[in-house]
Structure 1
Amino acid sequence: MPLSFKTEIHAAPAEAKDFLTFVNQAQSPFHATEQAALRLRKAGFEEIKEKDSWDNLRRNGKYYFTRNKSSIVAFAVGGKYKPGNGFAAIGAHTDSPCLKVKPVSKREKTGYLQVGVQLYGGGLWHTWFDRDLSVAGRVLVQTADGKLENRLVRIDRPILRVPTLAIHLDRSPNTDGFKFNHETHLQPMLATITKSLNGAAPPKNDAEASTETTMDKHHPILLHLLAAEMNVTAEEIMDFELCLFDTQQAAIGGAFNEFIFSARLDNLMMSYCSIEALTKSLKDPSSLAKDPNIRVVALFDNEEVGSLTAHGADSNLLPGTFERLSRATYDGEPNNNLTAYLESLPKSYLISADMAHAVHPNYFEKHDEGHRPQMHKGVVIKINANQRYATTAVTTVVLREAAKKYKVPLQDFVVRNDSPCGSTIGPMLSGKLGLRTVDVGNPQLSMHSIREVCGTEDVRHAIKLFEAFYEDFASIDARLTVD
C-alpha cells in the first residue's frame, strides 16, 4: 500500500523575505549603498560627511557616511566609550561580478544596435547569455543652473540581451562544451536598426562637429531611455557608470520555500545581514549605553577586483575612520590621548563577512570530506593555512562565544589541498591594521553566476550571530587572556 505524503507549505522566514526587498532594489553598488543608507536613517542614524569636522560626536550617537556613493560606513558610539577603546566591526562589500557599459559603447552589426560592455570581476559569464537584462548605476547630470549632480538610475524592464547561437548552426556546445569569446560574443543587443531610425540623433552643425559629446559615444536611444527614467533630457547626461543586471527578481523557492534564488547573493547577503544586525543590536538602548566600544559596519566597493581603489577595503577608508573616531571629541569633552588610535587597534575585532561555498550535490568531491558546509546548518567559519582567510584560533573562539547567546549554529570550511582558494577583505584589513579578524559567510551555490542560491534559514543565522557579536564582544574580550 503506497504511503500517503502531504507536502506542507512552509512560510519563509521574515528575514529572508526582507532580504528580497533589499536585493531587488540593489542592482549596482550605488543602489546597494542607497538601500543601506535608507535602513540606517530609518533606524535613527545621522548622515555625516568625511570632509567635515567630527568634533561634535555624542556617546550613544549613531552616524553614517558614504564614499563615492558606492561604499558606506556606519557606527554607533558606546555610552561608556573613551578614546583608546576598541571597535567591534563587520566588513562586507557592495559589488558583484557583472557586465559594465564601456565608455564608448555604441556598436552596430548586421542590422542590430549593440551596447559595448566590459567584464567586471570574475563572473561565470556563460550564465549571462539568454537573460533579460537592463542597466542600473549612477549618472552625472548637468542641471539648468550649471550644477553637476550625481543621480541614481535603474531601468526596470528588459532592454538588453546576449543571445546564444542556435544549436543548428553550431553543434559543438553539446560535444565540446560552450565556448565563446568574451569580447565578440558577449556584447548585448539593444535594438534593431530598422526600429531605431526614428530615435537617431539629429545631424550636428559645424560648431558641434568638432566637439565629442555623450551622444557620440553611446546610442541615442540608450541615452533617451536613461533620460526618461530621470526626467531629464539626453543632452543633460554628461557621463555614467552603469552595471547590467538580470531583471528577473530574487525569489523564494524550493519545495519547502527553503531557497533564495537571486543575483548578487555574493555579497549583498552579508551586506544586508551586517546592516540589519547593527540596527537590531541598538533596539534596546541600554545595550549601547553600557558598551565601552564603537560598533561599526563598513561596506566596501571593488572587492571583486582586488579592493585597491579609493573606496575599496585596501584604501584608507577603514583605517581613516578608526583614526578619526579615536581622535574625535565626544559630548564636548577634550580628547588629550595622543596614542588613542594605536591603543584602539589591539582592542578591536573585525568580522570579514563574505559568502561561503556550500557543498554541491553534483560535485561533492570538490569539498574536503570533513568540511562540507550545508544550507540551514549555520554560518561558515572560513580557515586557510596560507592566510587567504584571516581566521585564527583566537578569533574563532571569540565568534563561537558570541554564537552561544542566540544558539547560532556554526560550520567550518577549508579548501582541499588540491584546490585553489579565493580570498576576502579579511587578510588585507587584518594586515593593514594589525586587527584580530575572522572570515565568515553564509553557504551558497552558484557563486558568481547571474543567478545564485542560498538557504532561507541562514539569513536569520547571520543576523543573530552579528547581533550577538555587537552586544557581547566587550564582555567576551574581557575574558580573553591572549595578548
Structure 2
Amino acid sequence: MASKETVLSAAKQFVTFINKTPSPFHAVNEVRQRLVSNGFCELKEADHWTIKPLQKYFVTRNQSTIIAFAVGGKYQPGNGFSIVGAHTDSPCLKVKPISKITKAGYLMVGVECYGGGIWHTWFDRDLTVGGRVFVKTDIGIESRLVHVQRPILRIPNIAIHLMRDHNESFGPNKESHLCPVLATAVQVSLQGGAKADPPKPSETSTQTKSPLAPNYETLADKHNSPLVTIICDQLDIKPEQIIDFELYVADTQPSVIGGALEEFIFSPRLDNLLNAYAACEGLIQACGDESLQHDPNIRMISLFDNEEVGSQSAQGAQSALQEMVLHRLSSGGSQTAFQEAIPKSFMISADQAHAVHPNYSDKHESNHQVALHKGIVVKINSNQRYASTGITVTILREIANLSKVPLQEFVVKNDSPCGSTIGPILSAGLGIPTVDVGAPQLSMHSIREMACITSVYQATELYKGFFLNYPEVYASLQF
C-alpha cells in the first residue's frame, strides 16, 4: 500500500483539477494543458497525420472530447491499441439559448436539465456559470472559456409553511420550479441596467431589420442584462462582440478533502472527471520512462462528451471518432491492418461505481457490496449493460496484480435497473475486448458527490499499469 501522504497528495492534485473544470470544455482544456506540458503535440482532424514511434499526440473535437495517444517504439500498423475510455460530462443544468425570464419581480435564468441529475440537490446552493463564449474580434471568431468565480444564481426552496408535505413528497417540476434567480427587477432598475421586460417592436412597424445586422441587437431579448454584463466583464469584451455562448450552471462550493480523518472527497462531477483525470495521469506517468521504447502498441486515452445523455452525438462515444482515429493510426500497413489490430487491442471503460450506502444497504446486492478504499470496481452485468466478460476480467485481474491495485466486483440487484457506460457502445461498434471499471462513490448524480481519496491513486496506478503491462499480458494468453 502507498503511504497516506502519497494517496493524499494525489487526491489534492485531483481536487485542484476539478475546481478548474465547471464544464466539459474546461475539463478538456485542463487535460490538454497537462498533455502539452508533458510533450504531447496537437493534431487537427482536417490535417494530414504523420505518426512516428515514440511520439505523443492528441486531437480534440468540439472542445469537449479529447483523444490522446503515445506511439510505442515497436509499433507497426496492425499492432494493438491499449485504450482507457472515460467521459467529460456530468448531469447539470444548462442555460437555454433564450434564457430571459421575469417572474414576480425577479430576473431569472431559463435552464435545461442535462442528464439524469438528482435535481432537488440543486436547491439552496450558491451557483455560478461556466462554459464557452463565441466572440467576434478584429481577426475572426474566437471561442473563449469563461468561469464566473462568485455566486450569481440560486434556486430557492419553497418554505415548509407553504408546502407542508415538503419532506414527504418533494418532486420539483423541472420546467417551472428549477429556475435560478439572478437578480431583482428593482435593483436592476435602480442601478441603471436594462429594464426587465423591454417593449417588443410592433408587428405593424415598417422598420425592417437588415439581414446583415449583428447578433448583439437581439442579445438583450435573449438573456437578462446582468448575466450578459457579467460575462462581458469576465472576458473584457463588449456585448456586441458576443455571437453566442454555451453555459453550464455549477456549484461555487469548491471540491475539498473532508471527513474526520481526511479520507473523503466532497465534490461535484466525480462522475466522471475522477476517471478522466486518472486516465490522463496514468498515460503521462506511463510515458515517463523507457518502457515506451519497447511497446508494440499505441497507448491511448479517449475522453468523450455526452455520455450522460446517451453518447449519440458527433463528439460522443457513439460517433465515428474513435474508429476514424484508429483507422488513421493503422494506415500504412496492409489493407487489413485495422482489422488485425482490433483483436490485439483492449479497452478499459472507466466510469464511476456505486459504493454501498450505509443508510440504504438493502439497495445493494448482498454479495457485491462495494466499499470505499478497498479497490477499483469491476462492473459486470449479464444483460450487457457493462461490457465485461470472463476473458476481459481475467486480463484486468492480471494487470491489477502487476500494478498492486486491489479490485472489487459489482453487480446490480435483479430487481433494480442497471446503468450503462461507453463500454458496451465502443466494444459493440469496434469489436475491441472491453472491461468496465470505476472508482466507488456515493451520491452519484448529486450536485455534491462523495468518494475516497484512495481511489484517485488506485485508479491512476491501475491505468498506468495497464499501459505498461498489457502487451505482455496479451502475449501470455493461451486462448
Calculate the TM-score normalised by the size of structure 2: 0.94
Cα root mean square deviation, aligned? 1.7
CA 12–177 in structure 1, closer or farther in 2 if over 3 Å, else same: farther
Deviations 1:70-114 (A, max 9, x none): 000000000000000000000000000000001110000111000
Letter in 1 for 2:266: F
**Matching residue's letter, 1:293:** N
Taking the aligned partners of 1:405 and 1:107, their CA distance within structure 2 comes to 57
Q: 1:16 aligns with which of 11, 14, 22?
A: 11
* Number of the residue aligned with 2:284: 279
User: Is the CA contact (8 Å cut-off) linking 1:90 and 1:297 kept in structure 2?
Assistant: yes
Deviation, structure 1 residue 168: 1.5
2:327 to 323, 346, 351: 323
Shift of 1:12: 5.9
Residues of 1 paired with 2:466 and 2:85: CA distance?
13
User: What residue identity is the alignment partner of 2:142?
Assistant: E
Question: Which digits, 9 at most, give the CA deviation of each residue in 1:192-230, with x for residues without a partner?
Answer: 001112121798995669976222111122111101111
Instruction: State the Cα distance separating 1:179 from its structure 2 match.
Output: 2.3
Provide the residue aligned with 2:20 in structure 1: 25
Identity of aligned residues (%): 54
Q: 1:154 maps to which residue? A: 147
The separation in 2 between residues aligned to 1:109 and 1:21, in whole angstroms, is 38
Separation of aligned partners in 2, 1:480 and 1:121: 40
- The equivalent of 2:204 in structure 1 is none
Pairing partner for 1:247 from 252, 266, 275: 252
Superposed counterparts of 1:61-460, under 5 Å: 61-145=55-139, 147-174=140-167, 176-197=168-189, 198-200=192-194, 213-284=218-289, 286-327=290-331, 335-460=332-457
Deviation at 1:170, TM superposition (A): 1.4
Please give the alpha-carbon distance, in whole angstroms, between the structure 1 residues aligned to 2:176 and 2:223: 18
Kept after mapping to 2: 8 A contact 1:377/1:409: yes
**Alpha-carbon distance between aligned partners in 1 of 2:411 and 2:200, rounded to the nearest angstrom:** 61
SS across alignment from 1:458? helix
C-alpha distance in 2 between matches for 1:204 and 1:370? 63
Look up the SS of the partner of 2:378 in the other structure. Answer: strand
Counterpart CA distance in 1 for 2:125 and 2:305 is 25
Q: Is the 8 A contact 2:7 2:457 kept in 1?
A: no
- For 1:191, give the aligned amino acid: A
Is the CA contact 1:377–1:411 (under 8 Å) kept in the aligned structure 2? Answer: yes
Q: Which moved more, 1:369-378 or 1:202-211?
A: 202-211
Structure 1 counterpart of 2:34, from 39, 57, 71: 39
Greater mean deviation of Cα atoms: 38-47 or 377-386: 38-47
Q: Per-residue deviation at 1:292?
A: 0.1
1:3 maps to: none
* Residue deviations 1:329-382 (CA, integer Å, cap 9, x gap): xxxxxx241211111111100000000000000011111111011000000000
Q: Counterpart of 2:420 in structure 1: which amino acid?
A: S
Q: List alignment gaps of at least 5 residues for structure 2.
A: 202-206
TM-score normalised to the size of structure 1? 0.93
What is the deviation of 1:128?
0.2
Would the aligned equivalents of 2:84 and 2:300 in 1 still touch at CA under 8 Å?
Answer: yes
Pair 1:473 & 2:466 matched: no
| Structure-2 change in CA distance of 1:336 and 1:91 (3 Å) | closer
Greater alpha carbon shift after TM alignment, 398-407 vs 450-459:
398-407
CA contact under 8 A between 2:81 and 2:298: conserved in structure 1? Answer: yes
Task: Give the whole-Å Cα distance in 2 for the aligned partners of 1:463 and 1:83.
Answer: 28
What is the Cα deviation at residue 122 of structure 1?
0.2
SS of 1:72's partner is: strand
Task: Provide structure 1 residue ranges, at least 5 long, that are not aligned to the other structure.
Answer: 1-8, 328-334
Q: Deviations over 1:222-246 (max 9, x none)?
A: 1111011111111111111110000
Contact 1:10 1:256 in 2 (8 A): no
CA contact (8 A) 1:60 1:289 kept: yes
2:380 maps to a residue whose letter is I
Q: CA deviation at 1:29?
A: 0.4
Alignment correspondent of 1:6: none
The 1-side partners of 2:209 and 2:228 are apart by 18
Q: Are the counterparts in 2 of residues 33 and 94 from structure 1 also a CA contact under 8 Å?
A: yes
Residue 60 of structure 1 corresponds to which residue in structure 2?
54
Q: 2:78·2:333 contact (CA, 8 Å) conserved in 1?
A: no
Separation (CA, whole Å) in 2 of partners of 1:144 and 1:77: 39
CA displacement, residues 291-331 of structure 1 (integer Å, 9 cap, x when unaligned)? 0000000000000000000000000111111001001xxxx
- SS of match in other structure, 1:462: helix
Give the stretch that moved more between structures: 164-173 or 464-473. Answer: 164-173
- CA 1:10–1:293 in 2, change beyond 3 Å: closer, same or farther? closer
Within 2, Cα distance between the matches of 1:119 and 1:470? 37
Amino acid at match of 1:140: F
> Partner amino acid for 1:263?
P
Instruction: Give, in whole Å, the separation in 1 of the partners of 2:225 and 2:351.
Output: 39
Tell me, in whole angstroms, the C-alpha distance in 2 between the residues paired with 1:308 and 1:390.
Answer: 18
Structure 1 residue runs of 4 or more that deviate by more than 4 Å after TM superposition: 9-12, 201-212
